[in-house]
Amino acid sequence: MPAPLSPADVRFDWPGLRLPAFLIVDDPAPCLNLAHYEQYFEPHVRDVPNAFTAAWADLIAEFGVRGKFSVLPVPAGIGRIDRPLPGVPEPDRREFLRIVRERVSPQMDTCIEFLTHFLAWDIQQERPLDYTEKTMGPFTNRDHLTRYFAYGLHILHALGLNPTGATSPGYACMDIESDYQAAIREAVRAVTGNSIAWYFLHVDTRSPVVLPRIMSLDAERGEACVAMISAGSDPSWNTQFGQPSELNRLITADGQSGRLVTLFQNRSVISFHTHWQSLFSEGQWTGLQDLRILLKRIREHFGARILWMKCSELARYVVAQATTRVTITPKPASVEIMLHATVACPMFTVRVAIPQPVQQILVGGVPLRALPGTRTTMEAGSWQQENGEAVWCADLTPGATSVVLEWKS
């Protein structure tokens, strides 16, 4: 019989032993290029045709990309997207929303990016204010931010876009991040009923490992707000000015270097961001074409060892990792590990140090499928033993889940 196990012998891994990956896309709005309004001191094409949005949906479907896709509720302060937009033909507005609802939302979380990404919005009078959202920190507080975010979430929710989080324009409200994250958490719960919210505010292009951060947590109720961090900056921003994308900064053609390669080698979450205007490239679609090249490199060199995830899925996973408690009961020819969880989590993957050859693992009384040899990736409902550790992958449900590891007596 092996030495007694303790909770310290149990650790949680990434789903199916695959590294989570996500792509962040900032600034989309129905048929409009935000740069035309926000960078008004530069010449920018105003109109983004729905053919471009459809091509974007084709691309993420082809490569299975997950992450987040912003939809501005009141783009540049010109009007609400759930109403006719000045300068946008009504059929085009409706078609953009249909593409996002039917083709983008299944792949990526939609979220608000504050409301306008330009001038702050008076949510009572429904008109622009005389300061920008990027500088609104001194003019707001937690209660106002909660109502501000709820205003935008209601717009997206009513349009069937199922918003799950928020993005900050630039570094807006970083100086009051405690209030900011609390407001997002409260607004998301109030509008959608989701107990786990997330947001994108931070970029870290230097650390070898970049992980989501749990910013607030009620473990007993399974409620949390998680900061999703981009580890790779926009490679195509300068395509708006006729310059090439800098794809090698993220991953070279041979897959030997680049920011994403460093993250992969250090078993980090793999994340990067871009912008709608970067992909659109003033109507040339250069950034979108270059994103295809980038995704091909990622597929070729990382393959099935990464798992594209929505931000909401990854937020749920890290909350499950942080809140699931372990108790252990030894038996004559087995050990029972109880996982006490407050949130459900698909493909929850667990390692336990146990040199004894395991014959079978049962989760909730149901035997898992034993994988032959050792595998670099796993599916839900499977297990394997490698290097003195038993590893299993199974869906986690709220409450107490019994996991029994059996061996020959």
| Structural domain contains residue 80 | yes
Tell me whether residue 12 is in a domain: no
Which residue segment(s) compose the domain that 266 sits in? 17-316
100 and 44 within one domain: yes
Which percentage of the chain shows pLDDT scores above 90? 95
Residues 390 and 274 in one domain: no
One domain, residues 283 and 338? no
pLDDT digits 0-9 by tens, 19-71: 999 999 999 999 999 999 999 999 999 999 999 999 999 999 999 999 999 99
- pLDDT tens-digit series, residues 134-146: 999 999 999 999 9
Q: How far lies 300's CA from each of 19, 153, 272, 294, 351, in Å?
A: 15, 37, 18, 10, 28
Same domain, 303 and 343: no
Question: Which of 294, 316, 338 is the endpoint of a domain?
Answer: 316
Residue 10 in domain = no
Co-location of 345 and 295 in the same domain: no
DSSP letters along 174-211, please? GGGHHHHHHHHHHHHHHHH--SEEEEEEEE-SS-S---
Domain of 95: which CATH number? 3.20.20.370
One domain for residues 260 and 350? no
Residue 11 lies in a domain: no
361 belongs to a structural domain: yes
DSSP 3-state assignment of 296? Answer: helix
Q: Are residues 165 and 192 in the same domain?
A: yes
Q: What mean pLDDT do residues 110-118 have?
A: 98
Residues 218, 42: Cα–Cα separation, whole Å: 46
For the entire predicted model, the pTM comes to 0.96
**C-alpha–C-alpha distance, residues 192 and 189, integer Å:** 6
**Predicted pLDDT of residue 355:** 85
pLDDT for the residue numbered 2: 56
Same domain assignment for residues 291 and 345: no
274 and 345: one domain?
no
Is residue 199 pLDDT above 70, yes or no? yes
- pLDDT tens sequence across 65-110: 999 999 999 999 999 999 999 999 999 999 999 999 999 999 999 9
- Please give the mean pLDDT across all residues of the chain: 96
Domain boundary among 316, 348, 374: 316
DSSP annotation of 228 reads E
